[in-house]
Amino acid sequence: MTPASRDELAARFSRYSSGPKQLDKALEAALAGSVKRHRFLPSGRALYSVVGSSADEFIDPAKEFCSCESYFYSVLGGKAEYCYHLLGYKIAEEAGLIRDVQFDDEEYYDFLMLLASDVLRSVSQ
């Protein structure tokens, strides 16, 4: 399968975007490898994050949830269908651009603590 170009991805996903700026940020996240699947072995648990402009954001693609401020104000407020992190995930998933990062199960708790502190730090700014 040939990788899609930025223009092809933009055309395919523009209908999900609240505007060109959001689409550009989502495309940049997907193409830059900022969408990550953190796999914990041997359990196979997986968590997802997207490197954002100020912090890593936790996302749950199955529930279409993101820890970012835009999700709480724009998505839950009905102004947008997705934040750029979730849109970036959607693009990365379809284009095969999700970056896999592997950890041992013993690192799960520490990883959650670091991710949570990153999310809390970005909320308090």
Residues 100-125 have pLDDT tens digits of 999 999 999 999 898 888 777 766 66
Peptide bond into 61 cis (omega under 30): no
Task: Confirm whether 36 is domain-assigned.
Answer: yes
Instruction: Examine residue 65 and state whether it is found in any structural domain, yes or no.
Output: yes
The pLDDT value recorded for residue 91 is: 95
Q: Are 30 and 95 in contact (CB under 8 A)?
A: yes
Q: What is the pLDDT of residue 76?
A: 94
Q: Are 43 and 106 in contact (CB under 8 A)?
A: no
To the nearest 10 degrees (0 to 180), the angle between helices 6-13 and 20-31 is 130
The DSSP H or E segment spanning 47 is strand 45-51
pLDDT at position 43 is: 96
The answer to the question of residue 91 being in a domain is yes
pTM: 0.87
Give the pLDDT of residue 1. 42
Helix (H, G, I), strand (E, B) or coil at 99: strand
Domain around 119: 6-124
Which two structure tokens, joined as six digits, stand for 59? Answer: 């996302």
pLDDT of residue 122: 66
pLDDT of residue 123: 64
Q: What stretches of 1-125 show up as alpha helix (H) in DSSP?
A: 6-13, 20-31, 69-70, 84-95, 108-124
At residue 24, what are phi and psi to the nearest 5 degrees? -60, -45
Please count the structural domains in the chain.
1
Low-confidence ranges of the chain (pLDDT < 70): 1-3, 122-125
Say which amino acid occupies 84: Y
In a domain, 85, yes or no: yes
Spatial separation of the C-alpha atoms in residues 4 and 105, rounded to whole Å: 34
Please report whether residue 1 resides in a domain.
no
